[in-house]
């Protein structure tokens, strides 16, 4: 395939990934404002805990979305799965934007339904986009493009937080609590419509079109345990470690700074915006390095350092000084810097473990299951530990899960000796 066509296809798939994650993280960024509108009055921790439960509910739907879209992507095609997922995300975001408050139990029920729709969409998005980019990229640059795909994830979150900072400067706090929190969901829905048309124009991968497997064997869930049980266990462990790290340091961190360290909401939002703005440049760089030194070695460093840093870094952040925002910025950035080794390679290391006929399902389903447990529940677990007066217990949990990720990385094959992905989109073992 001509490099220009390859680039166009990869960027088309990645654009949709950006929008889907913008919509997904808009909930986490703006829950500080809409939690009191949907849940009974009480202390701030209780309101945040209720909104965190709904946030976690979206993750419960993700394995279902991963199963449905993974099977769909392996049977109908990667492009079809990508187009359908962004359509569903548009619907979920629009529902949040228009859901009325003050209607008793109906209001939070509609919020939950919208979040479940978003969960189904994102559950399908990751597997489809990760598989598509991995198959479309040439073998020499897969680490780089895998890292670029994660840039769109971080970019979506960064865009959501940047919009939060912008609205905080343009609107009063009363306006944000009353109606301003609806604006990002309107923006997300409109962007999804644009991406829908972009994705309709991308090409299908040759790995999918050339896979010589019966339709009954394409996307078969039982194959993940029967034939690829070891690979699936590795994906589960790596994802668990990466998820609890990301959702602790990049998502929950804003609430930790506000609720534990006593930071002003706007200050915490600005600090996290700086962190994500820096982080967005790291995955492609790390992916490029991994293309030269090996993906397994990169992951061992990533999870090894993350295990050792978890407890001291989180303790320091929980007691951070609001008068020193740059120090807090560095404390947030350091663990994310090391975890970027995993974020850069997340897509490709999973895709390389499975053949084409179960690749979309294999990439998406175990990823979604682990993410539902350790990503979707990260805020809930952190707030629970705080509510019972054992906040540091959560820090040790983060360290333990990262240690499991390190052990899983030791079991990865050396990709330089061959993978299930062939060169330039071909299925088979690389030379």
Q: Whole-angstrom Cα distance, residue 195 to residue 17?
A: 9
Query: From residue 210, how far is each of 22, 115, 135, 206 by CA, in Å?
Result: 34, 36, 12, 6
Q: What is the pLDDT of residue 232?
A: 93
Q: Whole-angstrom Cα distance, residue 53 to residue 115?
A: 11
Domain that holds residue 113: 3-203+228-414
Q: What is the pLDDT of residue 431?
A: 26
Average pLDDT, integer, range 80-96: 89
User: Tens of pLDDT along 27-51?
Assistant: 877 877 777 777 666 556 666 666 6
Q: Whole-angstrom Cα distance, residue 244 to residue 376?
A: 9
Tokens 């490099």 appear where?
3
Q: What is the mean pLDDT of the chain?
A: 84
CATH of residue 185's domain is 1.20.1250.20
Asked if residue 423 belongs to a domain, the reply is no
Asked if residue 87 belongs to a domain, the reply is yes
Q: What is the pLDDT of residue 214?
A: 66
Q: Among the listed ranges 36-45, 234-243, 356-365, which one has the minimum average pLDDT value?
A: 36-45
Tokens 């919208």 appear where?
114
Q: Which DSSP state fits 430?
A: -
Q: In which band, very low, low, confident or very high, does the pLDDT at 429 lie, cut at 50, 70 and 90?
A: very low
Q: What is the pLDDT of residue 5?
A: 79
Q: Whole-angstrom Cα distance, residue 245 to residue 239?
A: 10
Q: In which band, very low, low, confident or very high, does the pLDDT at 358 lie, cut at 50, 70 and 90?
A: confident
Asked if residue 86 belongs to a domain, the reply is yes
**102 φ/ψ angles, rounded to the nearest 5 degrees:** 75, 20
Residues contacting 323, CB < 8 A, separation 6+: none
- With 70 as the cut, is the pLDDT of residue 243 above it? yes
Q: In which band, very low, low, confident or very high, does the pLDDT at 357 lie, cut at 50, 70 and 90?
A: confident
SS3 of residue 421 by DSSP: strand
Q: In which band, very low, low, confident or very high, does the pLDDT at 55 lie, cut at 50, 70 and 90?
A: low
Q: How many CB atoms lie within 10 A of CB 77?
A: 18
Assess contact for 204 and 79: CB atoms under 8 A: yes
Query: From residue 15, how far is each of 49, 85, 125, 156, 194 by CA, in Å?
Result: 32, 13, 12, 10, 10
Q: In which band, very low, low, confident or very high, does the pLDDT at 226 lie, cut at 50, 70 and 90?
A: confident
Structural domain total, the chain: 1
Q: Which of 290, 34, 250, 270 is nearest to 153 (CA)?
A: 250
């Amino acid at each position: 395939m001509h490099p220009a066509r390859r680039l166009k296809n990869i960027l088309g798939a990645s654009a949709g990934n950006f929008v889907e994650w913008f919509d997904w993280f808009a909930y986490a960024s703006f829950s500080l404002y809409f939690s009191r509108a949907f849940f009974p009055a009480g202390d701030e921790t209780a309101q945040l805990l209720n909104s965190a439960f709904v946030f976690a509910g979206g993750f419960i739907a993700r394995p279902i979305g991963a199963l449905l879209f993974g099977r769909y992507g392996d049977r109908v095609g990667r492009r079809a799965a990508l187009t359908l997922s962004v359509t569903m995300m548009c619907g979920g975001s629009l529902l949040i934007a228009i859901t009325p408050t003050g209607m008793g139990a109906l209001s939070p029920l509609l919020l939950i339904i919208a979040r479940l729709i978003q969960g189904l969409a994102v559950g399908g998005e990751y597997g489809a986009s990760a598989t598509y980019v991995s198959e479309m990229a040439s073998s020499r640059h897969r680490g780089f493009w895998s890292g670029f795909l994660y840039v769109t994830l971080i970019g979506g979150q960064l865009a959501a937080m940047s919009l939060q900072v912008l609205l905080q400067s343009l609107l009063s706090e009363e306006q944000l609590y009353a109606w301003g929190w609806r604006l990002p969901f309107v923006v997300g829905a409109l962007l999804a419509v644009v991406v829908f048309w972009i994705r309709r124009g991308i090409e299908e991968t040759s790995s999918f079109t050339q896979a010589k497997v019966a339709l009954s064997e394409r996307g078969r869930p039982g194959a993940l345990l029967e034939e690829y049980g070891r690979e699936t266990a590795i994906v589960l462990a790596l994802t668990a470690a990466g998820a609890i790290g990301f959702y602790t340091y990049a998502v929950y961190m804003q609430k930790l700074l506000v609720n534990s360290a006593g930071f002003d909401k706007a200050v915490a939002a600005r600090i996290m915006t700086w962190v994500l703005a820096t982080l967005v440049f790291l995955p492609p760089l790390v992916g490029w390095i991994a293309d030269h030194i090996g993906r397994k070695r990169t992951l061992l460093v990533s999870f090894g350092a993350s295990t050792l840093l978890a407890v001291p870094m989180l303790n320091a952040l929980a007691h951070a000084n609001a008068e020193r925002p740059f120090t807090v910025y560095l404390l947030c950035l350091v663990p994310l810097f090391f975890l970027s080794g995993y974020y850069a390679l997340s897509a490709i290391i999973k895709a390389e473990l499975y053949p084409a006929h179960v690749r979309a399902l294999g990439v998406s389903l175990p990823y979604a299951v682990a993410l539902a447990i350790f990503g979707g529940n990260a805020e809930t677990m952190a707030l629970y530990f705080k509510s019972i007066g054992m906040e540091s217990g959560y820090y040790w949990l983060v360290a333990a899960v990262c240690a499991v990720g390190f052990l899983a990385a030791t079991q990865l094959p050396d990709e330089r000796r061959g993978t299930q992905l062939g060169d330039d989109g071909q299925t088979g073992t690389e030379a």
